[in-house]
Amino acid sequence: MPPEVISAVCAFCEGPLVLAQSEAEPIDRIAPFLVDRRAAAEALSDFLAQRYLAPEVVRRASTPDALRPMFVPFYAYDAVAHTSYRAEIGIYWYRTETYTTTDSEGKTVTKTRQVRETDWHPLQGSHVSQWRDHLVSASVGLAEAHANALEPFDLGAAMPWSPALLAGIEAERPTVDHDTASQTAAGEITELAGAEISASHLPGDTYRDLQWRTRCDLGEVRLVLLPVWIAVFPSPGGPIQLLVNGQTTEVVGTVPTSVPKVIGAVAAVVLLLAGLTLLFSTIGGLW
């Protein structure tokens, strides 16, 4: 088998081929497929139905035969994020304001209204958060942005390593090195820690000028295999990859726009406008 493959199907007898655990980086868990081929195809069909200008070769990707199952490698990180932050916290209060206006009869009347004001106060603090099973793509074939869009995966449904779980389904060994994956994990957790501060750890009614600094201490990392349905199609701009989460049916992929379809749509709009112009001109001439 190719060096990046753990599991495949024999080209001669279609029997399952699985490398022994000792021949590859130790695998901690495998999450089985919870979505079958037909359900994945239906999810992909719904996804493509909203993309009218996609090339037809891509829109036909919703057929079950176009999808193949694969166990994609991910690194699952444990981490502790230490964040120090500062911001200005706003506290709302209301004052009563008197003003004059004109009523429906043109008379001047005096009214009152509540006007919101904000008192600002400086705040500094620190926060420690723990992260469990933060996922980073371990496959060069699955961009991290697409991996993030495919999430979440339910690792609670994952099972301990067993070659039997791979039988008949292609699986890939990690092709992203640990240093690169660790840098990605630390960067993502740093951003998530800052978002967590702004979402739920600031008092008051509002805030501004939030600044934070996070030190991310990565702990244990485990290799897990997660289920993904994949459809790949050639195009002039390069292969088109469409992915379906094998647990949730979440669909991810960048769908190109068909140039002939765009030209046809523009031509149809131009013809419609020309027809309306001619119609209104004719009606105006009759009047």
Q: Residue 264: its pLDDT value, please?
A: 47
CB 122 within 8 A of CB 86: yes
Q: Residue 76: its pLDDT value, please?
A: 97
Q: How many domains are there within the chain?
A: 2
pLDDT digits (tens, 9 = 90+) for 15-49: 666 665 545 578 999 999 999 999 998 998 888 77
- Claim to verify: residue 205 and residue 111 sit in the same structural domain: yes
SS (H, E, C) the chain: CCCCEEEEECCCCCCEEECCHHHCCCCCEECCCCCCHHHHHHHHHHHHHCCCCCCHHHHHHHCHHHCEEEEEEEEEEEEEEEEEEEEEEEEEEEEEEEEEEECCCCCEEEEEEEEEEEEEEEEEEEEEEEEEEEEEECCCCCCHHHHHHHCCCCHHHCEECCHHHHCCCEEECCCCCHHHHHHHHHHHHHHHHHHHHHHHCCCCCEEEEEEEEEEEEEEEEEEEEEEEEEEEECCCCCCEEEEEECCCCCEEECCCCCHHHHHHHHHHHHHHHHHHHHHHHHHHHHC
Q: Residue 258: its pLDDT value, please?
A: 47
- Claim to verify: residue 171 and residue 279 sit in the same structural domain: no
- Claim to verify: residue 164 and residue 241 sit in the same structural domain: yes
- Claim to verify: residue 247 and residue 285 sit in the same structural domain: no
- Claim to verify: residue 144 and residue 104 sit in the same structural domain: yes
Q: Residue 275: its pLDDT value, please?
A: 60
pLDDT digits (tens, 9 = 90+) for 227-271: 999 988 766 667 778 899 999 999 997 775 544 444 544 555 555
- Claim to verify: residue 201 and residue 282 sit in the same structural domain: no
Q: Residue 161: its pLDDT value, please?
A: 86
CB atoms within 10 A of CB 165: 21
- 281: containing domain: 257-287
Pairing of strands 159-160, 29-30: antiparallel
Tell how far CA 187 is from the center of its chain: 17
- Report phi then psi at 60, rounded to 5: -80, 0
- Claim to verify: residue 102 and residue 148 sit in the same structural domain: yes
- Claim to verify: residue 149 and residue 228 sit in the same structural domain: yes
Rounded Cα distance, 74 and 181, in Å: 9
- Claim to verify: residue 58 and residue 76 sit in the same structural domain: yes
Mean pLDDT of the chain: 83
Tell how far CA 37 is from the center of its chain: 21
Rounded Cα distance, 237 and 240, in Å: 8
- Claim to verify: residue 181 and residue 282 sit in the same structural domain: no
CB 256 within 8 A of CB 240: yes
- Claim to verify: residue 243 and residue 282 sit in the same structural domain: no
Whole-prediction pTM: 0.75
- Claim to verify: residue 27 and residue 89 sit in the same structural domain: yes
**Sequence-ordered list of residues with C-beta below 8 angstroms from that of 187, at least 6 positions apart, any chain:** none
Beta-carbon-side half-sphere exposure of residue 137 (alpha carbons within 13 Å): 15
Can you tell me which residue has the tokens 């037809």?
56
Q: Residue 45: its pLDDT value, please?
A: 84
The parts of the chain modelled with pLDDT lower than 70 are 1-4, 8-24, 51-62, 234-237, 256-287
**Sequence-ordered list of residues with C-beta below 8 angstroms from that of 263, at least 6 positions apart, any chain:** none
